[in-house]
Amino acid sequence: MADTLSPDALAADFDCLMARAGITVPPQRRATALAAYADLRGQIALLHGRYGPAAEPANVFSLLPTGAK
Q: Which residues bind other proteins (CB under 8 A)?
A: 1-2, 13-14, 17-18, 20-26, 29, 32-33, 36-37, 39-40, 42-44, 46-48, 50-51, 55-59, 69
Q: Which helix (H) or strand (E) holds 57?
A: none
Q: Give the integer Cα–Cα distance in Å for 6 and 67.
A: 55
50 HSE (CA, 13 A, CB side)? 9
| Shortest CB 1 distance to other proteins, Å | 5
| Shortest CB 33 distance to other proteins, Å | 5
| Shortest CB 68 distance to other proteins, Å | 11
Residue type, 60: V
